[in-house]
Copies of this chain bind each other. A is one copy, B any other.
């Protein structure tokens, strides 16, 4: 799956992923009202509003970008109807030719991780048929439980040609509380990075030189990104934290390899909520999807400026 992602990055010349993390406060009142008229004030109405919002964004940016990253928490908060729209969003983005990175941050003991992997990247057997619950192309995985929590995801990736991004150094302010703790000569995130390299060793796609086991490293920590880039030379790095969380294009340079590949940068709020940003407010709420498109164009420009190709 990493080869497909890279092919799309090269085609679009855009190492960019749009985070589909809709909060109700991002959604224009007109969409909310229409959903409420149809479904009343209900979880179904919220889910429908999220869906209409997502669809408009995707329809207006899909030709510019290789991938999207729906954050499942933003759907899960609306219970079962929310998760139905998560699945619908995944399917729609795939129809549009986008690679879908499910930002699910799952991780558990072996048999339980196997169930998550089946539900998100693989399939379950029911009688004579197989079914794929959420069928993302990549998923983010939490490493706190160690190898036997991660490996069931890798088994499914190998079998079904899927990929993972393992949390190594997250973008949030208190990520250092545990991740930066010094273990002998190096911090925990480096140890996790070494494990990511090891887990991905036999999953390197010869056609592109990268592994289906990638890593999450926040744009807000560029120096750590530089070190981790070296420790995990064959791992793609999914970089959150650009834009709204404070990371700049200059901060992104260390995450890329000299071939101009090796990283893909996420922006969520900065794109899908662009119309609330001073820079794009001329679009107005009613044209939120065009504001999002312009924000994607500007983000791609910004990032192209710093990566060597």
Contact = CB atoms under 8 A, between A and B. Distances in A.
A82 B133 contact: yes
Given A79-B87, A113-B73, A142-B107, A45 B126 contact: yes
A178 B170 contact: no
| Number of copies of chain A assembled together | 2
Given A129-B41, A143-B144, A184-B182, A76 B116 contact: yes
A23 B170 CA distance: 33
A181 interface: yes
Nearest to A46: B126
A308 interface: no
A176 B144 CA distance: 9
A128 B42 CA distance: 10
A173 B148 CA distance: 7
A77 B109 contact: no
A182 B206 CA distance: 37
A176 B149 CA distance: 12
A30 interface: no
20 contacts: A23-B115, A24-B126, A41-B128, A41-B129, A46-B126, A73-B116, A73-B119, A76-B120, A78-B124, A80-B80, A83-B83, A105-B106, A144-B144, A144-B167, A148-B172, A149-B170, A149-B172, A149-B174, A177-B195, A178-B188
